[in-house]
Amino acid sequence: MSFRDLGFRRDPFDTMPLEASASGKALLVDREREIKRLKNNLYETSLAPTLEGANGIGKTSLINVALYEISTEHKEASGPAFILCPFRFQVTPETKVDDFLDDMYREVAIALISQKQSAPIPPGYTRENISDLLEDFISNPMIKSLSVGIAQLGGGGLTNAPNTSQAFERNGFRSLVRGYLRKIFRDSEAGAVICVLDNLEILGTSENAKRVFETLRDSIFNIPGIRWVCSGAQGVIRGLWRSGRMNGYFCKPILVGEIQQENAHFLYEKRVDAYKVNDNASLPITMSQFQSLFDIFRGNTRFTLTDASVFCNWCFEQYDAIDEIPDDAFDRWLGDELNNMYGDVYPYLSKSEKAFFEKALQWELIVSSEFLDFGLSSERELIEAAEKFVRLDLLYLNKEDKGTSSSEVYEISPAAYKFQYFIDSQHSEGEEAL
C-alpha cells in the first residue's frame, strides 16, 4: 500500500515550501493578512521587508506565494514590475562578501535570462522595448557564456551555472548586470528583481547577524533594480531590525504566527484535492485525526504535516489495504510515537523540572531574571533548568540582541507541544490507574 495505490500522485503532506506558482497559492491557508503586509512593503517602500516566526510556521511558503501574486498582478495592471529570483540566498558567520556577491549577480542574471519571455514590463516601456533590451543583454559575450551554461543544464539546476569569479572578469560582469538593471528599472518605482535571504537564524545570534549585514549592507541593499526580502526565526530578525547600524534598511518585521485552529480543515482538504488523481482517493489519516495533530502542534504547519505523513507511512508498513486499518490505529501509533520519543526522558525529570516546563509552556517566553516566578532561587538555577530542555529541543535560546540586559530569554519550540501532550497522557493514565 502507498499513496499512489490510494489514488494520490504522491505524498500530500510534503513539507517542502510551497512554490511561487498558482498551485502554491491554492495550497496556502490563513495567510491573507501577512501577504498583504509583505506586498505593501514591496510596493510602498524601498526598504527590505522582513519576516520573523518559528521554524516550520510557513514563512518561506508565505513569501513564495506573495511574490507570485506580485509578479502576476503587474501583468494585469500598471505598477512596479517585479522579476522573481528563484534562488534562495543564505548567509553564515563565515560568509565572504565577494563570494556572496558572485552568487547574487550570477543568480540575478540567470533570473533575467530564464524569464526573458515573460519578463514584466516596467512603466515607460513596451514589450518591444523590453525585448530589445533583453536581447542586447543576452548577446553580450559574458552573458552568452552564462546562457550556454544554463542551456547545458537543461533548464534545471541553475545554481550550478559557471562561477562568475572564475568564468568572467568579476568587475566587468557585475557592471554589466548593474547597467542592465538601471536600464530596465529606471527608478525605485519601476520595479526590481526580488531576492530572498532565508533562514537567518543560521547566523546564530543577532550580534552575528548585525556583523554580517553591516559588512554586506552597502554592497547588496543599495543596488538599483534589486530588492531583498529577509526571513528568520528565534529573534534574529527582530534584533537585526532594532540595530542602529541597520536603521533605514529594513521594514518592521512581519510576525508570522500559527494558523488559526478553525482553518485546520482547509489545510487537509486543500492537500487532498491538490494531490488526488481520482475521486476515489482516500487516506489512512482522517480529517479529525489530522485536526488532532494540528491541535497538538498549535497550528505549526510543518510539524503537523510531518506527523501526518509519518502516520500514513506507518499504516503502509502495518497493513495491506486501507480497509484493514482499525479504528484505534491512530491512537496506538501516537502512543507508541510518544513513548519512543519521550519514554526514556520523562521519568528522569525531577519534580521541579517538570513544574518548570509546564509553567514555561503557559508563559511561552522565559526570562532568566524572572526566576522567582518559577519558584527558583537564582537566575543561574533557571538557566540550568532551561538548558536541559534546550538540549532536548523543547526550548530554544532567543537570539535577539539583549541590549544592556544580561538576562537570557528562552522560547517554546513546536516539539515542546508534543512533549506536553505526552505529559498530559501520562497524567491521564495515572488518574485511570487510581
Domain co-membership, 40 together with 142: yes
Domain co-membership, 112 together with 221: yes
Q: How many residues does the chain have?
A: 434
Q: Supply angle C-alpha 190, 193, 196, rounded to 5.
A: 135
Q: What is the pLDDT of residue 167?
A: 44
Asked if the structure places residue 330 within a domain, the reply is no
pLDDT, tens only, 172-230 = 788 888 888 888 888 777 888 999 999 888 887 777 788 888 888 888 888 889 999 99
Look up the CATH number of the domain holding residue 408.
1.10.10.10
Rounded mean pLDDT of 406-412?
84
Domain co-membership, 306 together with 383: no
Asked if the structure places residue 154 within a domain, the reply is yes
Could you list the residue range(s) of the whole structural domain that residue 36 is in?
31-256
Asked if the structure places residue 102 within a domain, the reply is yes
Domain co-membership, 396 together with 319: no
Q: For every residue of the chain, which 3-state class applies, written as one string? A: CCCCCCCECCCCCCCCCCCCCHHHHHHCCCCHHHHHHHHHHHHHCCCECEEEECCCCCHHHHHHHHHHHHHHHHHHCCCCEEEEEEEEECCCCCCCHHHHHHHHHHHHHHHHHHCCCCCCCCCCCCHHHHHHHHHHHHHCHHHHHHHHHHHHCCCCCHHHCCCHHHHCCHHHHHHHHHHHHHHHCCCCCCEEEEEEECCHHHHCCHHHHHHHHHHHHHHHCCCCCEEEEEEECCCHHHHHHCCHHHCCCECCCEEECCCCHHHHHHHHHHHHHHHECCCCCCCCCCHHHHHHHHHHCCCCHHHHHHHHHHHHHHHHHHCCCHHHCCCCHHHHHHHHHHHHHHCCCHHHCCHHHHHHHHHHHHHCEEEHHHHHHHCCCCHHHHHHHHHHHHHCCCEEECCCCCCCCCCCEEEECHHHHHHHHHHHHHHHHHHHHC
Q: Supply angle C-alpha 200, 86, 135, rounded to 5.
A: 135
- C-alpha span between 66 and 38 (Å, rounded): 7
217 or 77: which carries more pLDDT confidence? 217
Q: Which of 256, 274, 297 is the last residue of a domain?
A: 256
Could you give the number of structural domains in the chain?
3
Q: Which of 325, 359, 375 is the last residue of a domain?
A: 325
Domain co-membership, 174 together with 316: no
Domain co-membership, 392 together with 364: yes
Asked if the structure places residue 86 within a domain, the reply is yes
Q: In this predicted structure, which of 60-64, 225-229, 234-238, 408-412 has the lowest mean pLDDT?
A: 234-238
Domain co-membership, 47 together with 144: yes
Look up the CATH number of the domain holding residue 59.
3.40.50
What percentage of the chain exceeds 90 in pLDDT? 41
Q: How confident is the model at residue 338 (pLDDT cuts 50, 70, 90)?
A: very high
pLDDT, tens only, 146-185 = 655 444 444 433 333 444 444 445 677 888 888 888 888 8
Q: Which of 238, 256, 274 is the last residue of a domain?
A: 256
Asked if the structure places residue 22 within a domain, the reply is no
pLDDT, tens only, 136-150 = 776 777 666 665 544
Asked if the structure places residue 341 within a domain, the reply is no
Domain co-membership, 184 together with 47: yes
Asked if the structure places residue 428 within a domain, the reply is yes
- C-alpha span between 187 and 183 (Å, rounded): 9
- C-alpha span between 328 and 333 (Å, rounded): 9
Domain co-membership, 370 together with 417: yes
Asked if the structure places residue 370 within a domain, the reply is yes
333 or 363: which carries more pLDDT confidence? 333
Domain co-membership, 108 together with 46: yes
Domain co-membership, 179 together with 268: no
Residue 247 has pLDDT above 90, yes or no: no
Which of 143, 154, 152 has its CA nearest to residue 111?
143
Domain co-membership, 183 together with 273: no
Q: What is the pLDDT of residue 82?
A: 87
pLDDT, tens only, 261-286 = 899 999 999 999 999 999 999 999 99
